Amino acid sequence: MPPPTIRRRVVGPLAAVLLCAAGPTAPAAARDAGERPAPGRSAAGPAVRLPDGLALTPPMGFNNWNATHCRADFNEAMVKGIADIFVEKGLKEAGYQYVNLDDCWALPRRDAKGKLVPDPKRFPHGIKAVADYVHAKGLKFGIYTSAGTKTCNVAGFPGALGHERSDARQFAQWGVDYLKYDNCNNQGVDAKKRYTAMRDALQAASRTTGRPIVHSICEWGENKPWKWAADVGHLWRTTGDISDNWSSMLSIMKRNLPLHAYAGPGHWNDPDMLEVGNGGMTDTEYRTHFSMWSIMAAPLLIGSDLRKATPETFEILGNKEVIAVDQDPLGRQGKVLSSENGRWVVAKEMKDGSRAIALFNETGSARTISTTAKAVGLSGATGYTLRDLWRHKSRPSAGRIAATVPAHGTVLLRVSADGKRAGHPPAVRNSA
């Protein structure tokens, strides 16, 4: 069942076709996915990435949508509160940077000059004041609109189709650093055309302010943006909307995993924003969600109201060893090595030559999941160090990588070849 936001806007047989476009079974991308494009080339062809140097690692930050949808508690106080918490609770220091508004920030009508008007109830001091507040904290600010005549909410807020230049200019003048550009009410205009028009408008607008703007393409994977958007946006949604439950998170994860060959610095697959902390999953499941998003080099956009978050939520979102997997500068998305009977092994090559390994248990009871250093691409050493990124403990291994993983849980490891041991075998072995 597609999430309600999808159901609202695509109806009947068209919906079935559209929703299958990024379907649960291996799409075309999966077939191509075994082949990693040469550095500087995308799997789709020669297009590389935008030349602005933005999003060289997956964007990290906050977006209100999963927490509030269009409710009245999406307002200036919330956004400022999140920026405060980013600083106070060490999330800024952990890498979270963007504080982003989603749908419903505007009034349904443009003004007489065609300008967008912030909703005065939610944002009584306007958008620039909020952006200034966020910037004063050393953070960045993002906003939302749709590549259509109206945004996705039934209230019908104005979209940017046909207004790209003037809306992009308005965003740039407000100090926007990040635009999430949705797909509702697109009038059937070709997606590549619509998103390229906004890319060009953002580039032109940011030339006047000197503030480059991340372009987050949100067309739900309908037109396989991984094949054409590497130089159109910095990230693209690969699926429909996530909801705060296990099956939604899992199905999105399964659709996003096969697309690994298309991700890289400046151009990321986006399996949607985090639900961690919203209450619909257990903390074990949220650790899986966060582990898998990190090993997939997904954008990490917190989607819960941090003003009400539990210590466990902060512990998950603030785990720097897990974040380092997501933010690794090599920019690889992890690949599935095996997934038999719900026992998943996913491996991500890291810049320092180590591998991040997720041992993920999809089943409803504890399972032993195992692989080897050789299978994850490490060999030749006499010993390896397995670092458990949730327990923050290291242990040695001769090459076996295994753990008992609770139901719906993930053991996330970083495995390094032990150079010293390779070069200097332990004394005990010499004397044996």
Using the minimum distance from each CB to ligand GLA, give the nearer residue, 119 or 328: 119
Q: Which stretch binds ligand GLA (CB under 6 A): 45-53, 150-158, 327-335, 354-362?
A: 150-158
266 three-state secondary structure: coil
d(CA 339, CA 367): 13
Q: Which is nearer to ligand GLA, 148 or 266 (CB)?
A: 148
Give min distance, CB of 3 to ligand GLA, in A: 7
User: Helices 126-136 and 164-174, interaxial angle, to 10°?
Assistant: 50
Contact 271, 252 (CB under 8 A): yes
Dist CA 385 CA 235 (whole Å): 33
Q: Which of 218, 346, 347, 376 binds ligand GLA (CB under 6 A)?
A: 218
65 binds ligand GLA (CB under 6 A): yes
Three-class secondary structure assignment of 8-63: HHCCHHHHHHHHHCCCCCCCHHHHHHCCCCCCCCECCECCCCCCCCCCCCCCEEEE
Give the pair of three-digit tokens for residue 214: 């991340």
Distance CA 302, CA 190 (A): 31
Segment contacting ligand GLA by CB under 6 A, of 37-45, 123-131, 146-154, 224-232: 146-154
8 Å CB contact between 190 and 227: no
User: Considering the rule CB under 6 A, would residue 103 count as an interface residue with ligand GLA?
Assistant: yes
Question: What is the nearest approach in angstroms of ligand GLA to the Cβ of residue 310?
Answer: 24
**Among residues 152, 300, 309, 322, the one that binds ligand GLA under rule CB under 6 A:** 152
The smaller minimum CB distance to ligand GLA, of residues 29 and 179, is found at 179
Of the two residues 2 and 37, which places its CB atom closer to ligand GLA in the complex? Answer: 2
Of residues 274-303, those binding ligand GLA (CB under 6 A): none
Residues 238 and 255 sit within 8 Å (Cβ to Cβ):
yes
| Least distance between ligand GLA and beta carbon 151 (Å) | 6
- CB 353: neighbour CB atoms within 10 A? 12
Residue 182 engages ligand GLA in binding (rule: CB under 6 A): yes
Q: Which of 55, 64, 102, 178 binds ligand GLA (CB under 6 A)?
A: 102
221 vs 258, beta carbon nearer ligand GLA: 221
What's CA 375's distance to the chain center, in Å?
27
CB-side neighbour CA atoms (13 Å) of 139: 33
| Catalytic positions | 182, 241
Q: Which of 241, 244, 275, 305 binds ligand GLA (CB under 6 A)?
A: 241
Site membership for ligand GLA, residue 270 (CB under 6 A): no
Return residues touching ligand GLA (CB under 6 A).
5, 65, 102-103, 151-153, 182, 218, 241
